[in-house]
Amino acid sequence: MTDFSTDQAAGRRYTVNLSILFTELPLLERPAAAAAAGFTAAELWWPWIDAPEPPSAERDALKGAFEDAGVRLTGLNFYAGRLPGPDRGALSLPGEESERFRANIAAAADFAGSLGCGALNALYGNRVDGTDPAEQDAIALTNLQLAARAADRIGAVLLIEALNRAESPRYPLASAPAAIEVVDRVNAETGLGNARFLMDLYHLAMNGEDLPTVIDRYTPRTGHVQIADNPGRGAPGTGSLPLADLLRRLDKAGYGGWIGLEYKPGDGPSAAAFDWLPPADRAAR
């Protein structure tokens, strides 16, 4: 089994993605389940798939679930359509979906800020038939500037993520350099400097990128890291990625941010999907 001993993991901060783990439970029960598994931090995709601006009572209930469990919200996606599902974000889409994204910006930032969340992830969105890619990129840049300003208002970073071509063939940010280019463009336009790269090692591995080179080159511009093994998007040790070595390389590169556990739990309950990580290393220090 991959070696994630306490000494190797010293100082790392892990956060559990409650949109892909513990999904066998109702949403409001997941923060407590993460706490029972030993974690003190969690992240989420936007949990109201059809509601960019959900009723305040629903937002308050989820906020209370985090607070009651003693779990910190460390990352939140802006509205991105159907996740999991065919959608890969909304901010670059023309028409109604882009309007839904803009309507969500304040709601997502306010909810994240109410829980001290320091990172908001903006998925770029798929290419659309019949629409010029340049038009989509212009829409994206406008919306990302709005999102960056909303994130800045709550003291958060704006994350830009690369996905993989096999699972998201119409998503244009399918490499680390492509995502970094957008990060740089947003920072140049806003002058805020709070747009950062979301380094998802699973997606980058699926794209065949040289992960040690990506880590060495882009860690200083990275605001968040997510992991899953490959193939299969399972827990570390279920595939062939040398995740322990890659995390050590991130340590040496100076990364001190959150490491999101964004993997599928397999056939068993989610609580059984953390055997690779010693209990003493699950709670954030």
- CATH code (residue 188): 3.20.20.150
d(CA 281, CA 177): 32
Domain that holds residue 27: 6-278
Q: Tell whether 177 is covered by a domain.
A: yes
Q: Tell whether 284 is covered by a domain.
A: no
pLDDT at 213: 98
Q: Tell whether 88 is covered by a domain.
A: yes
pLDDT at 84: 87
pTM equals 0.96
CA nearest 285: which of 15, 4, 2?
Answer: 15
Residues in the chain: 285
Cα-trace Rg, the chain: 18
pLDDT at 88: 96
Give me the number of domains the chain comprises: 1
* Catalytic positions, written as ranges: 161, 262
Q: Tell whether 96 is covered by a domain.
A: yes
d(CA 189, CA 187): 5
pLDDT at 285: 74
pLDDT at 154: 98
CA nearest 158: which of 75, 258, 215, 101?
Answer: 75
What residues are paired with 77 via a beta bridge? 121
pLDDT at 3: 66
Query: How far does Cα 130 stand from its chain's mean position?
Result: 29
Residues of the chain with pLDDT under 50: 1, 6-7
Q: Tell whether 49 is covered by a domain.
A: yes
Q: Tell whether 58 is covered by a domain.
A: yes
Q: Tell whether 1 is covered by a domain.
A: no
